[in-house]
Amino acid sequence: MEHERVPVLVVGGGYAGLSAAALLAWREIPVMLVERHPGTSVQPKAFGVGPRAVEMLRPVPGLEEQLANIWTGIGDTMRIAIAKSLTDPEPHMIMHDEHEELAFLSRVTPVMTIGAPQAEIERVLRRKAEELGADLRFSTELRSLDQDGDGVTAVIRDADGDHVVRADYVVAADGHRSPLRRMLNVPTSGKGELGRMCSIMFDADLSGIVRDREVTLWYLQNDVFTGVLVSGTGVGAHVLGVNYADGQSESDFTEQRCVELIRTAIGRPDLDVRILDTTSFDLAHTLADTYRAGRVFFAGDAAHTMPPTGGQGGSTALQDGCDLAWRLWLVITGQAGPDFLDTYDAERRPIGALTADAQLANLGVRMPPALRVGYPEPLDDPAGALLGFRYHSTAIIDEPGDDGSILEDPRVPNGRPGSRAPHVVLDWDGQRMSTIDLFGSGFVLLAAKSAGQPWMDAGRLVKDRLQVRLTRLLVDDELMDVEGRFTEAYGVRGGGAVLVRPDGYVAWRSLDLAPDPTATLETALRHILSRHHPHPPTAAA
């Protein structure tokens, strides 16, 4: 059989796999992706990409703009209702005012939610990954995988037969049933299978209904079915999801039956409907008990399958892929030690469980299944949770007295290690930008000009000594603090400095100027990168 060699093999061409491939290729790490289906999604599937996922994607040149160009009006101003049908005279609104949501986001991030269906976003990610040089192979299936101390040997099958691929690492983004998870005997927890849903994509003119009601997401509960309808912006394609009743199978959802269900959902028995596509999928709450099995890392639904109620499953999958990309890049290029990869499980698994539990809680309220006992309570502040989760691992140096929390209010930025670096408006040579724009391609050391030069000098020495990609920036030097918020938001009023990781998270902070900034910074960075025993990196441009 033909043998090929690649640093990273990605299995699965959905959100997690495509984002990992695109971000690895952008960082010039050769990557191969295999996907058993012939292409990306046909159905819209999930709608919208949350702001945190957009922040992680935006360092790739042109990607945020390309995603914004497919915006459909769904997402940042989405209103949600529970009703019997779209013509229900008294729908129950369950979303707060979208104007408050937009105002909140504008204060804490320079990006906005991308309101577009998953199918369109996947196509953009695929084009970008291919443009950057990723080797994407559709209609290609993983057949087997074996690990040893030096790498992974995988057998893949395409139309030409079987091929052997040797890789350093594997990203398992192969869906909620994850053959790789079963292959490697990774245990799972959670509520498991919750039911099954038929997704019906259809064409109909809803303009007299949707625009007047200003609702785009309907949770429907009536005498015929329970389900959800994404109504788009009027004329064109819409999606109705219908929960299977006991004893139902795919054969029950004939074209005529689908038309009847759609008319019931809309509340118009004479509505002209054209069925475009139908598919079925499982509703589940399944959590992998570890995100790492040797050299294999689980992402997306393979790591955390969650009900769609809440709309964060897709964004969480995108974040997984982006997150793995920068961690693998650091290790493959020698900037971080191999143990650094343990931080992926330590950081992402608690967030995956938190998000899955929140979506499960929403399911119990919005689409109640037969059994609701034991469901968690919905999050008190779902908007804050989008940008307010915290990480704890060896890649974060906690400060004394840290409470170990995994959620905080992003409206009150504090710059403490483990938290997302705050959004502060800057001016660089007459151009407005955000601190968020500084992150993505490597570590960033930030300090105020008033007392930060010793930190900048230390950063230069440590960067050369460790051969780590590190950018050193003084605020109120080339970068002007437009609103005078930097030192307070980042907590460095006493002459300290902040080290921000490529994912935009604060890894370490010194509140004051250290007696020996170079030794302090080097010790911190060695700890963060699992570089306890010096070893020369292979590349760190």
Q: How confident is the model at residue 540 (pLDDT cuts 50, 70, 90)?
A: very low
Most confident of 81-95, 178-192, 395-409: 178-192
pLDDT score at 218: 87
Per-residue pLDDT averaged across 128-154, rounded?
Answer: 97
CATH classification of 191-284, choosing from 3.40.50.300, 3.30.9.10, 3.40.50.11540, 3.40.50.360? 3.30.9.10
CATH of domain 388-528: 3.40.30.120
- pLDDT of 235 > 60? The answer is no
Query: Which of 504, 521, 399, 376 lies closest to 454, judged by CA?
Result: 521
- pLDDT band of residue 71 (cuts 50, 70, 90) is low
Measured CA to CA, the distance from residue 139 to residue 106 in angstroms comes to: 42
213-219 mean pLDDT: 71
User: What pairing do the DSSP bridges indicate for beta strands 152-158 and 80-83?
Assistant: unpaired
- 2-74+111-189+286-385 is classed in which CATH architecture? 3-Layer(bba) Sandwich (3.50)
Average pLDDT across the chain, whole number: 90
Side chain identity at residue 520, one-letter code = T
Rounded distance, CA 459 to CA 456, Å? Answer: 5
CA nearest 504: which of 430, 426, 424?
424
Residues of the chain with CATH 3.30.9.10: 191-284
Count the neighbouring beta carbons within 10 Å of the beta carbon of residue 249.
Answer: 10
Q: Is the pLDDT of residue 76 over 60?
A: no
Residue range 284-310: mean pLDDT, rounded? 95
CB 493 within 8 A of CB 430: no
Per residue in 457-472, pLDDT tens? 999 999 999 999 999 9
Q: Are 200 and 240 in contact (CB under 8 A)?
A: yes
- Of the candidates 350, 369, 348, the residue with the CA atom closest to the CA atom of residue 360: 369
pLDDT above 90: percentage of residues in the chain: 69
Report yes or no: 521 and 464 within 8 Å, Cβ to Cβ.
no
What's the rounded Cα separation, in Å, for the pair 100 and 84?
27
Q: Which residues pair with 483 in a beta bridge?
A: none
**For the CA atoms of the chain, what is the radius of gyration?**
24
Provide mean pLDDT across the span 393-402: 95
Return the minimum-mean-pLDDT range out of 41-45, 287-291, 429-433, 517-521: 41-45
- Point out the catalytic residue in the list 169, 219, 344, 391: 219
pLDDT (average), residues 85-94: 85
Of 442, 167, 500, 446, the C-alpha closest to 326 is 442
Higher local confidence (pLDDT), 386 or 138: 138
Q: Is 244 a catalytic residue?
A: no
For residue range 49-60, what is the model confidence (pLDDT) as tens digits? Answer: 889 999 999 999
Q: Which residues of 160-176 are buried (b: 16+ CB within 10 A; e: fewer)?
A: eeebebebbbbbbbbbb
Give the per-residue pLDDT at 97: 54
Q: Give the residue range(s) of CATH 3.40.30.120 domains in the chain.
A: 388-528
Give the confidence band of 237 by pLDDT, cuts at 50, 70, 90.
confident
Pure H helices in 110-267? 118-131, 179-183, 207-213, 255-266
Query: Residue 432 above 50 pLDDT?
Result: yes
Confidence at residue 224, expressed as pLDDT on a 0 to 100 scale: 93
Integer Cα distance of 528 and 434 in angstroms: 25
Instruction: Evaluate whether 348 touches 395 at the Cβ level (below 8 Å).
Output: no
3-state helix, strand, coil in the chain (%, to 5): 30, 30, 40
Residues of the chain with CATH 3.50.50.60: 2-74+111-189+286-385
- The continuous run of DSSP H or E covering 356 comes out as helix 342-366
Checking if the pLDDT of 539 tops 60, the result is: no
Q: What is each CA distance from 458 to 168, 447, 462, 526, 535, in whole angstroms?
A: 34, 12, 6, 14, 20
Task: Say what the pTM is.
Answer: 0.91
